[in-house]
Amino acid sequence: MSRPGLVNRVSISPGGCKVTARSRCLRFLGVAGLGVLLLPGAPAQAATTAAAPAEVTVVHGVRGLVADVRVDGKMILSGFAPERVTDSLKLPAGMHRVQIWTAGAAASSKPVLDRMIPVTAGTHTTLGVGLDAQGNPQITAFDDDLAVARGGATALAVRDIAAAPSVRVTVDSLMLANGIQAPQQSAIKVAPGAHAVSVLPLAGTEPVVANQSVPVVAGRATVLYLIGSQKDGSLGWITQTLRPTLAAPASVQTGVGEPYHPGTTANRNRGLIALAGMGLLAVVLVCRRTWRWRAASEAAV
């Protein structure tokens, strides 16, 4: 007959130890896992990070119009003179109302131009304020991510915001655009240095605007805006230099989370998350070995 003490130790104590050890491990793992999820900078929190703003530049190509410019009802440019290019304006992604008045006009009066412009997070757009082929003011949104300029290539582009019929544009006597008209654009890769740009009618060889020698910086895209009106002989150029565009981002941003910047709080917390994960793995291995040892002890007894 078994001794009561031995029965108690085998049927109760080992069973109780087995359940208690496993329960403690599971409780610890649950609490530790919850702690990892609650760490600042964890994926659940990073998902709420705001998207990068869009950048917008304004090119003024309507001669004779000194303008006040409002975006979403807020004055951003006062007394904006023709043939000028602004610095970049940061805007949140989405639709924005762009309105242009003659300088000094009341905001309650009818604007010269009124247009809704969509912008996308992380992009750069140039708003060309110019004329259509019939001479009416218009705003054209140009995407500054030129395909030919990606990867840091040197490029030259022509954007037509002038009141003129279709024209031919040549660069160093090579055809850039055969039949460009407002509000169209065309671009080409070029070598760094000066390039001869000519604007010609579709039929004929007499330039419609004086030929230009345009300096182009290595690794940049230089943009020429054809402005003015052929009818009154006021055609001319405005020049803009775009920042280089990479062929592809170093990491693909999906819109969820934030870009990686070493040393920031969020990325230090990523390191903590990794360490916590390693700690959890170690606990799992220890618990597993403990369960096996206790199971072997029961079998031996």
What was the pLDDT predicted at 182?
A: 94
CB-CB contact of 228 with 60 (8 Å): no
What was the pLDDT predicted at 280?
A: 55
Quick: pLDDT tens for 125-159. Answer: 999 999 998 899 999 999 999 999 988 899 999 99
Q: Is the pLDDT of residue 96 over 70?
A: yes
- Structural domains for the chain: 52-145 (2.60.40.1120), 149-244 (2.60.40.1120)
Band of residue 9 on the pLDDT scale cut at 50, 70, 90: very low
Torsion of CA 85, 73, 48, 252, to 10 degrees: -30
Quick: pLDDT tens for 152-203. Answer: 899 999 999 999 999 999 999 999 999 999 999 999 999 999 999 999 999 8
Which range, 34-43, 59-68, 251-260, 288-297, has the best average confidence (pLDDT)?
A: 59-68
* β-pair partners for 25: none
